[in-house]
Chain A
Amino acid sequence: MTTISTMTLSSPTRVIAKGVQTPLKTQTIKCSPIFKLNKRWPGLIGSGRSSSIQPVRAAPDKISEKVEKSIKDAEETCTDNPTSNECAAAWDEVEELSAAASHARDKKKDSDPLENYCKDNPETDECRTYDN
């Protein structure tokens, strides 16, 4: 079986690890950057209640507005030439946003805030479960 051990190097400079000489063992060594946009890197943020840093998913309402706007745009783009490439691209954007809106609705439907929190932070008090 596999042994996976994790070592975290959070040096800001480039890390060159040489010769991880542990025979018959596998290792994961991750070097995290100091800062990355819209992204939480494992290793950068410690365990516990760090969820405040987590970026928030775009709300379905906002996507709905985008869908609405994209339909208007497509209709405008297509008035001159309904078979143009621009027209096809505009309606393709409508499709993409409509699909995204539908996925966002599905996610919202079966998402429970506590469940979501506990998925990321199973070790916290409010996420403990007890067997009698």
Chain B
Amino acid sequence: MAACTLYSTQCFNTISSTPSSKTHLGFHQRQVVFYTTTNNKRSSNKRSGNNNTGRYVITCAAGDTVVIGLAADSGCGKSTFMRRLTSVFGGAAEPPKGGNPDSNTLISDTTTVICLDDYHSLDRTGRKEKGVTALDPRANDFDLMYEQVKALKEGIAVEKPIYNHVTGLLDPPEVIKPPKILVIEGLHPMFDARVRDLLDFSIYLDISNEVKFAWKIQRDMAERGHSLESIKASIEARKPDFDAYIDPQKQYADAVIEVLPTQLIPDDNEGKILRVRLIQKEGIKHFSPVYLFDDGSTISWIPCGRKLTCSYPGIKFFYGPDTYFGNEVSVVEMDGQFDRLDELIYVESHLSNLSTKFYGEVTQQMLKHADFPGSNNGTGLFQTIVGLKIRDLYEQIITSKAETPVGAAKA
């Protein structure tokens, strides 16, 4: 992949590519220099206060960035998932060097993760004045999100705004170069149809209310000022907007990780033991779902016994076909948790289509990050598996593009 960029950073306009760029870039993969003097009225300049400046972009790239979308509510494990995902790709993901210390971006050799909060059109004060939550589409600039994700996908660097979660303000933008894999994570990666169409794969983390409550207690109870009441009030006050704008996105996801209270203990709502379901869409290009024992069958499996030690309440797996929002899916489910993480190898050896590069890779990844939340249950297991599936998807896409360069350029 080739990438070269020139920008005059006095100005903060969005990069928009000229229509001719793709043809040049895709076909010849030679250096192409083109200028765009953008004066895009709805671009980021209105926020940074740097108006009326033109912008010169010279860029050339092959434009084979694979774009992954990850949707979930705040406090539902996006960060942990990202750490597992980037670990599968190899190399640690770090904030941009020498940049804004409150940047939300993570960069590794292959992957760049951007946080969609950076596309807030209203800052904290603005939302307060208008009575709008961050979940509300009116607080987000989907035009800019679309333009920039599209540009990155085409191999063009962008200057993305930074939403500062500490101050609640929009900071001066940072330059994002087109990576091999771009992950867009946040509240709305599948909300806007244009952005959705740019995604090569999408994931939704669906945390049930009981578990969300339990997780937020764990996260916030130590914080001064918080109480069970405040945690509950916050979840309830945000729920109407969550139900209206965030939750419906799961119908578009290629993979959904559903986190529910266990069924192994009757009437348990402590949220400590979890039943986690990996819902995988069928018929997605470059993605073939993971299965247990026999592809397409319905299987219930309790691995505890002679080969795997399980203390109360044990572990239960399920696998089978289902429909999800009218789509054909296959579901792998794990209820309960592992006593000893290295015993996971026994479970791993019974799962098929994992897209591992060697025997035991899932277990190795889980052991490597045993300190991450959810490493002993289905959340960690399925996050790791989805990471492997995304690596596989990426490799397939790159291979297919290499085989048909002309077709890829047109695509």
Nearest CB of chain B from residue A109's CB, rounded to whole Å: 10
B10 and A14 form a contact (CB under 8 A): yes
B220 at the interface (CB under 8 A from A): yes
Query: Binary interface profile of B, 44-64, with partner A (CB < 8 Å = 1, else 0)?
Result: 000000000010101010000
A23 vs B33: C-alpha distance in the bound complex, in angstroms?
A: 11
- Report chain B residues within 8 Å CB of A17: 6, 56, 58
| A interface residues, tally (CB under 8 Å) | 70
Other contacts beyond A31-B10, A91-B238: 7, CB < 8 A:
A28-B4, A64-B223, A72-B225, A86-B131, A96-B168, A98-B216, A103-B165
Known A67-B226, A91-B238; judge A96-B134 contact (CB<8 A): yes
- Report chain A residues within 8 Å CB of B226: 67, 71, 98
B101 and A15 form a contact (CB under 8 A): no
Binding site for A on B (CB under 8 A): 1-10, 30-31, 33, 54, 56, 58, 60, 74-75, 79, 94, 97-102, 124, 127-128, 130-135, 165-168, 171-172, 174, 216, 219-220, 223-226, 230, 233-234, 236-238, 240-241
Binding site for B on A (CB under 8 A): 2, 4, 14-17, 19-20, 22-33, 36-42, 45, 54-58, 62-64, 66-69, 71-72, 74-75, 78, 82, 84-104, 106, 119-120
A128 vs B124: C-alpha distance in the bound complex, in angstroms?
A: 43
- Report chain A residues within 8 Å CB of B31: 20, 22-27
A95 vs B171: C-alpha distance in the bound complex, in angstroms?
A: 20
Known A38-B171, A91-B234, A119-B94; judge A27-B165 contact (CB<8 A): no
- Report chain B residues within 8 Å CB of A25: 31
- Report chain B residues within 8 Å CB of A102: 75, 219-220
Known A23-B30, A40-B98; judge A71-B230 contact (CB<8 A): yes
- Report chain B residues within 8 Å CB of A120: 97-98
- Report chain A residues within 8 Å CB of B101: 54-57
A94 and B234 form a contact (CB under 8 A): yes
A100: contacting residue among B54, B132, B165, CB under 8 A = B165
Of chain B, the residue at the smallest CB distance from A53 is B98
- A sample of 8 inter-chain contacts (CB < 8 A) reads A30-B7, A37-B171, A74-B234, A74-B237, A82-B237, A95-B74, A103-B79, A104-B166
Of chain B, the residue at the smallest CB distance from A11 is B8
B133 and A88 form a contact (CB under 8 A): yes
- Report chain B residues within 8 Å CB of A104: 166
A31: contacting residue among B6, B127, B219, CB under 8 A = B6
B241 and A88 form a contact (CB under 8 A): yes
B131 and A2 form a contact (CB under 8 A): no
A63 vs B124: C-alpha distance in the bound complex, in angstroms?
A: 14
Known A24-B31, A94-B230; judge A38-B131 contact (CB<8 A): no
- Report chain A residues within 8 Å CB of B98: 40-42, 45, 54, 120
- Report chain A residues within 8 Å CB of B238: 88, 91-92, 95
- Report chain A residues within 8 Å CB of B30: 23-24
A58 and B166 form a contact (CB under 8 A): yes
Known A55-B100, A57-B102, A71-B230; judge A89-B224 contact (CB<8 A): no
B9 and A32 form a contact (CB under 8 A): yes
Nearest CB of chain B from residue A12's CB, rounded to whole Å: 8
B131: contacting residue among A15, A71, A89, CB under 8 A = A89
- Report chain A residues within 8 Å CB of B75: 95, 98-99, 102
Of chain A, the residue at the smallest CB distance from B131 is A85
Of chain A, the residue at the smallest CB distance from B62 is A2
Nearest CB of chain B from residue A24's CB, rounded to whole Å: 7
A29 vs B219: C-alpha distance in the bound complex, in angstroms?
A: 44
A26: contacting residue among B3, B74, B168, B234, CB under 8 A = B3
A102 vs B215: C-alpha distance in the bound complex, in angstroms?
A: 12
User: Can you list the 7 inter-chain pairs with the closest CB atoms, starting with the nearest?
Assistant: A68-B225, A85-B131, A91-B237, A26-B4, A92-B133, A57-B101, A100-B165
Known A84-B131, A85-B131, A85-B132; judge A98-B219 contact (CB<8 A): yes
A67 and B224 form a contact (CB under 8 A): yes
